[in-house]
Amino acid sequence: MYNFSVPDICDEFSDIQIGDLFLNSYGSKNKFFGQIHTAKCEHSNSIVKELVNEHGEGKVLLIEHAGSELCSMVGDQIAQKAYENKWNGILTNGCIRDVEIIQNIDMGVYAQNTYPKKTDKSVGIGKKDVPIKLGSVEINPGDWIYIDSNGWIISKKKLEL
């Protein structure tokens, strides 16, 4: 278990950004941190699939759903593959599905909500490791995220806690 609290981080550090996008925890872990990799997707999560197939130890995948069509960016297969490749967690401003399975996968998954429709499966659509925006927070690949049931923060560097 991680030994930090997001409120304590907010009290101790001034050079952080506090997330103003309110998210729900769907994975079995609601507290995690890691170095950020990003995906910016409209209606296809093919870039997300590519990223979770990479080794993810110590990393967190942040997904900006930039499209207007309602669809889920993460399902049980993506979450399972991320777990197998040792990702610390996934966070999206979009929706996820298969929550009854994801809640039993031993990793963190945060999203705005659930929605049962899958994405368009067009390959190569989207961008990876580009700056994204979640709520009003500008996030760059390589930044660090700390998240628990109180909220989330972004830091430009790993925090000494």
In this structure, what CATH number is given to the domain that contains residue 140? 3.50.30.40
Q: 97: annotated binding-site residue? A: yes
75 annotated as a binding-site residue: yes
Domain of 63, in residue numbers:
6-155
Question: For the whole model, what pTM was predicted?
Answer: 0.95
In a domain, 161, yes or no: no
* Residue 130 resides in a domain: yes
Is residue 30 situated within a structural domain?
yes
pLDDT tens digits for range 6-62: 999 999 999 999 999 999 999 999 999 999 999 999 888 999 999 999 999 999 999
User: Annotation-wise, does 16 bind a ligand?
Assistant: no
Is residue 15 annotated as involved in ligand binding?
A: no
Q: Quick one: pLDDT at residue 1?
A: 60
How many structural domains are present in the chain?
A: 1
* Segment holding 81, helix H or strand E: helix 76-84
- Residue 47 belongs to some domain of the structure: yes
**Residue 77 is labelled as binding a ligand:** yes
| Mode of pairing for the β-strands spanning 95-96 and 113-114 | parallel
**Kind and range of the H or E element at 92?**
strand 89-92
Tokens of 38: 């990003």
Q: Is 120 annotated as a binding-site member?
A: no
